[in-house]
Amino acid sequence: MRTVSVSFNVYVSAKIGSEAMGLLTLTGGIYGFAITFATSGINTAVVRLVSASLPYENTDYFDTRSNLCVKRIMKNALFYCLIFSATATVILFISADNIGKYLLGDIRTVPSLKLMSFSLIPISVSSALNGYFCAVRRVYKNVIVQFCEQGAKIGVVSFLLMTIAPAGLEYACIAVVAGGALSEGVCVIVSGTLYFIDRKRHYRKNAKTVGDVSKKGCFLVKDKECLDIKGSETRVIPIALPIGVSAYVRSALSTVEHLAIPWGLKRYGLDSSASLSSYGILHGMVIPVLLFPSAILGAFSSLLVPELSSSMAQKDYKRIKSIVARVFSLSLLFSIGVSGVFVCYSYEIGIFLYGNREAGEFIRLLAPLIPLMYLDGSVDSMLKGLGEQVYSMRVNILDSLLSVILIVVLLPIYGIYGYVTVIFATELINATFSILRLLNITGIKTPVFRWVIIPLICVIGATFISRGILSFTLIESRALTVIEIASAALIYLLLYYIFTHKLPKNRLLVSFLWGMCL
């Protein structure tokens, strides 16, 4: 699905141009804040509450008690979603004219903002249902929803780009936004249908009810123990609202950051069109490509929250340490390999995807940051699963605040390269604080040589070998780039296996000699 999304993004950017991509990214800052308010931490709350309510020994079905718990949780969650998302919809729609005219400084954004407001309620409800499917470990249903959503978006946007986009830049943005809004409607319909089917299919009444469930909430379970469902087990607000409030602050700062970037580029000396174009290349083209491989890590990172929440509820600390150590090792192995490939083939990737050498230059500049970016995403998921979501949000707020300050200071002096510096500084601080916190609360050991140095040596060797061997072939350049990247990935995994399984005990000396040879 990420491949489809990035490929479609390439198509859209080629169709509407970098300036329109910059305009869409500009409205995206406001839209992001509206989505944050509409969802208000509901996804994390649902994941934690539902996963903690399931029978620990079996998550494939609901017993009588967990069924009632989950029913109450989802009822509260959907009511919470409707209140916040409806409020966000009204505010965004009414304020769109003033936001476009005075805040964004471009009235062409007004129609797009008004269309975006209609997607907030479906997004909020879908977020709650998404959390439910993650909590019960049936994420394939989220995949089904994403397929339907992406298919609807591609179909509608493609049609609108052919019909109304030629009328001008404003209509091109409307085409993209309208397609997104309609696809969110499809998403919530499919999610709701799958949710009701899932609730019915996975309920097993394996315990006899004692008395009136609605009044006593008391059940006779296998060990004859009478259990009460406490109100705290199903309350959404105590978990969702603190996360939501923290997210408001971070999202507001992020919105200011998005608005400050074009302002800083204009102060640097670029005109409005050029500043939007540079902004569009970096945020609308380069960053989606850099984050594209993280879909592989995201496939299991989203499941870390319910897994760790369930283990915390049972005080299974040995399992928690095992999960955290494995995630660290796999995340670094994968991200260091991806970073090396992007550094080596940055210009080829930029030209291959966008026909733009500037995009390739930005890919090379930001590629060394990939290990921190990917690991930070996994660490954030693990912190949420361990109940550290408030700390994580504080770090993210600090990240956004520092980003705004540095943008105001650096962009008028150094232009777009000042913003690259900002990305490096803030990501380094964010990742450092999050990683240290996770290591502190779990107490796991960190074998740096095995987790960092060996993958780094292996990816350097893999890219040199791949490029050195295949550069003498007569294969057409684009096909050669794909083959070189694929071969580098295979050689990387092979070298890592050799280093970690076949080397003698004095691996440090052998690794040093291997590095010198390279």
How far apart are the C-alpha atoms of 39 and 27, rounded to whole Å? 18
Closest among 75, 333, 313 to 199, alpha carbons compared = 75
What does the pLDDT average to over 136-156? 89
Task: Please report the pLDDT score of residue 115 as a whole number.
Answer: 93
Query: Which two structure tokens, joined as six digits, stand for 263?
Result: 């302002």
Angle at 209 (CA atoms; ends 204, 210), nearest 5 degrees? 165
Whether 504 has a pLDDT exceeding 70, the answer reads no
User: 228 pLDDT band (50/70/90 cuts)?
Assistant: very low
What does the pLDDT average to over 233-242? 75
pTM of the model: 0.70
Mean pLDDT of the chain: 82
Whether 57 has a pLDDT exceeding 70, the answer reads no
Whether 19 has a pLDDT exceeding 50, the answer reads yes
User: 61 pLDDT band (50/70/90 cuts)?
Assistant: low
The most confident of 5-9, 258-262, 321-325, by mean pLDDT: 321-325
Give per-residue pLDDT as tens, 86-119: 999 999 999 999 998 888 888 888 999 999 999 9
Whether 424 has a pLDDT exceeding 90, the answer reads yes
Give per-residue pLDDT as tens, 172-207: 888 899 998 999 999 999 999 999 998 888 766 554
What does the pLDDT average to over 397-423? 89
Give per-residue pLDDT as tens, 335-373: 999 999 999 988 888 888 887 788 888 999 999 999 999
How far apart are the C-alpha atoms of 49 and 43, rounded to whole Å? 10
Task: Please report the pLDDT score of residue 187 as a whole number.
Answer: 93
Task: Please report the pLDDT score of residue 120 as a whole number.
Answer: 95
**CA dihedral for 283, 364, 360, 327, sign (positive or negative):** negative
Task: Please report the pLDDT score of residue 506 as a whole number.
Answer: 53
Whether 84 has a pLDDT exceeding 50, the answer reads yes
Whether 334 has a pLDDT exceeding 90, the answer reads yes
Whether 397 has a pLDDT exceeding 80, the answer reads yes
Query: Which two structure tokens, joined as six digits, stand for 439?
Result: 């290591």
230 close to 5: Cβ distance less than 8 angstroms: no
Strands (E), 357-484: none
